[in-house]
Amino acid sequence: MKIAFSGKGGVGKSTLAALLALAFLEDGYKVLAIDADPSPHLARLLEVEGEITPLAELTELLAERAEKAGPYYTLNPKIEDLPEKFAVTKDNLRLMVLGAIRTAGGGCACPEQTVLRRLLTYLLLTSKEVVIVDMEAGVEHFGRATLTPIDLLIVITQPFRGSVETAKQILKLADELKVKKVFVVGNRIANAQQEASLKREFEDKYLFSLSIDEELEAREILSKGLWDYKGKAYQEVKNLKKRLEEIISATA
């Protein structure tokens, strides 16, 4: 079971990815959490101890694996040994922090990003655990080959115009890449009116609503992790987990 989260920055996708990982762990699953966001947060949210350097910051290693020489580099870099070297574990959780590479101008550093992209695809294809991926906003950086092994792409939005428009853009990109199993989840929904508005915006793509949880927001302000959190948002995510399992089971 492989589930990826995307959405505009700040909508809560990392928090929800962490909560879903914890829900699977509670049910006895082994989980591989992959943080592919340029600003990684899963290690903190899942309270994985120790200093974890995103692979994206190991520029010499990535350049070596890309066999980078001037403008030339390999499209088939060696990455099979990287999970064993860089994954960290906590109980039944395995965490890979990939990060993402961006130049000062916001573009992609292609050779190094090719290594990360191929590693992500490799993890998705070979992992036997439940896989939860926290992606960056949008899906254009990953491409069809990376998204193919994903069972479900979940786009997180809040009931505000900026995040709604970003969610629509992600849906459009996913459609262009012919990714069919894509759904929208509303986060921090305050009332029925906000939920109804999102349902109108996304129609049959709208899957689930998560309400505001003051306890969860207080933990975030205090930079507290979620390992022992069992509050309202977690209970709602457990219900979301059931929905996702039903969808994956029905399409298997």
Give the pLDDT confidence of 117-145 residue by residue, as tens digits: 889 999 999 999 999 999 987 776 777 77
All residues at 6 or more sequence positions from 224 whose CB lies less than 8 Å from its CB, including other chains: none
For 20-60, write each residue's pLDDT tens digit: 999 999 999 999 999 998 888 999 999 998 889 899 889 88
Residue type at 6 in one-letter notation: S
Max mean pLDDT range (60-74, 106-120, 149-163)? 149-163
Sequence-separated (6 or more) residues with CB below 8 Å from residue 193: none
According to DSSP, residue 37 is labeled S
Q: Where are the beta strands (DSSP E) in 107-247?
A: 130-135, 152-157, 182-189, 206-211
Domains of the chain: 2-251 (3.40.50.300)
